[in-house]
Structure 1
Amino acid sequence: MDVVVIGAGQAGAAVAAKLRALGHDGSITLIGEETAPPYQRPPLSKAYLLGQMEAERLWLRGPEFYAENAIDLRLGHPVQAIDPVKKTVTVGLETLTYDQLVLTTGSIPRRLPAAIGGGLDGVFTVRSLADVDAMQPEFVAGRRLIIVGGGYIGLEAAAVAAKLGLDVTVLEMAPRILQRVASPETSAYFRDLHQAHGVKILEATGLDRLLGEVRVTGARLTDGRELPADFVIVGVGIMPATALAEQAGLEIDNGIKTSTLGRTSDPSIWAAGDCASFPHGAGRLRLESVGNAIDQAEAVAENIMGANQPYVAKPWFWSDQYDCKLQIAGLNTGYDSIVTRGPEGASVSFWYYCGDQLLAVDAMNDPRAYMVGKRLIEAGKSPSKAMVADPSLALKSLLTA
């Protein structure tokens, strides 16, 4: 059985490695558009951008791993087309055949339209190693940076810039930063954190257009104000990379639509990671996280090998900003109340409930709250709100309540 994997990121590398670990003895071809071997993305907007991590330390595995495991790693090779009838993949002038195909194409950043200045020089996104390499020389103390978008990527970039002595302004058109993904309490925590480091947070403030002829020189806001800028980072979300899947005629539903096993509408094609949506509860879910990319990819590998086991997501996320590590367990969708535990020194956690059911936990510098919350959610247990809020009760006691 010949397996071709399109997308050499976290999910693609996990599929290939897991197939070999499970004893797959057919060929495995792992194809990536980027020239770098599969690497971690989270440090790009943190340690790598700060210059605290070399590119090779981002690599998931050294090149020798792929050679030793007979994984044909093809880098810098964008795929032109998939023919699901002939079971072929076109890569440059070459046509590869497959028995099973896995799409781990990931996601692409949303960009500002050219009509409002998105194509000017000095406007960057934070998604790939090349993106960060291109913007890194801009991070010079005293320069003026505007970040469009108050989500985690934008705030992580703001933290790096502030640490390096730049003048940073974050624009968020929603009423508050992190509105789409977090509670007002978590938003307030990070607003205060950034403002304490000199970052200007402008909420409920839209961008009318970027200014400049060839290179960006500033931004005009929807309220008419104009702000100067030496460069701009756009962090307004990502979209699943579905172009190849659409060209192949696969079903799309907020990403490449898969079954609980990870199989697409074509029985010989699978999908995993940021690009894939899968059944979850009464609906469908697409998770943008390292944890999901690895877990879902390994589940797909197991099912290619005949396990026939549905994928059950265990959502978890993290973000590093300044000296704060945010760890998130669960999904907060549908919450109707927040319970605060702490603060205890620099630690605090926010617990999301729907009625009496615990949905998720945001833990700031509180790994114990994160671990306990994660175990509770995975076990389907919900301690009472009063117990969570009681600082005299040890966190571990919530597991046995």
Structure 2
Amino acid sequence: MKAEIAAILLAAGALAAPSEKAPRKSAAACSSAVKLDASTNVWTKYKLHPNTFYRSEVNAAVEAMSDSSLKSKAAKVADVGSFLWLDSIANIAKFDDAISDLPCENILGLVIYDLPGRDCAAKASNGELAYNEISKYKSQYIDPIVAKLKANPNSAFALIIEPDSLPNLVTNADLTTCRQSKSAYEEGVAYALKQLNLPNVVMYIDAGHGGWLGWDANLKPGAEELAKVYKNAGSPKQVRGFATNIAGWNAWDLSPGEFSSASDAKYNSCQNEKTYVQKFGAALKTAGHPNHAIVDTGRNAVTGLREEWGNWCNVNGAGFGVRPTSSTGDSLADAFVWGKPGGESDGTSDSSATRYDSFCGKPDAFQPSPEAGEWNQAYFEMLLQNAKPSF
């Protein structure tokens, strides 16, 4: 069965090298150029697009199921909008198919994620570029993406900029890998913001989550780090704010918070993502950075599963959360989104693998799990069964 699923997914997700040709334009694209006003909440007008790549993964997963009731529920997941991760130079090719069926009323979510020395404090999701390959990041990664966006002026795009990058510079500066990556992170994010500052694009810079930059001592330095890079980029007007809980597990409005009884809870007043959005948003405003947010609710339906707040890998017992919507009940939270495609692994549980990270072998991590980004059928089915609201 595992080989059969792998074959289906390989056929569904096979990729060629990035095309030199102009991407295929959607037949349903807008009749004129899209101009997004980043001073407003664009999610009230646009729906997050159910991109073709995740749809193909879900459809393959459905084909691998024998339970008719589960198959029916799983098929509905394919219609949920989610962000497409352009997490390598080769995966820029995913853009062409993703744009081909994008209607005018939808916005295509893209995760920009390939900095030199990527994820300097983790092993499971290390990138393809060494910490000193900033020129390659600019010319072979960012520039081709910019070209594709420019070739599709009649379509709308929402970008999450480099998950985990700037937060790592705030809290993991003592690590050699993060010290080595610091200049490339700051220069790379600034370059991305400047070049991707296009009329049909709205951008959110990743800011971790409440259990990361939400600690009282991290709020101000975290906001100032984002603001510094934003200003170095020339304060691009298409930056709307920040992204939080991307590929995360924190509840939006759980009170008391999941870790409010921990011995060190008194040092973190951001016990849920709603409080984090408010407090970090205020710190960003003071630092001179746009402060509206999008929050990932893709896998945060079930709480109380993690042994520690920092445990991030394939949390066992998780479930699909609230579907993408602009109805958040909070003026700073633009939308709930599905940032991490549910079913794609956070990292391998194989301790002999080169990219094995000990967090993926912890008691609260689902095992077995494949390499980061690869499909985990059993995990997908668990997310589906534990979904709130249910499918």
Q: TM-score band, normalised by the shorter chain?
A: under 0.3
Return the index of the structure with the highest Cα Rg.
1
Return the structure number with greater helix share. Answer: 2
TM-score by length of structure 2 reads 0.28
More strand by share: 1
TM-score, normalised relative to structure 1:
0.27
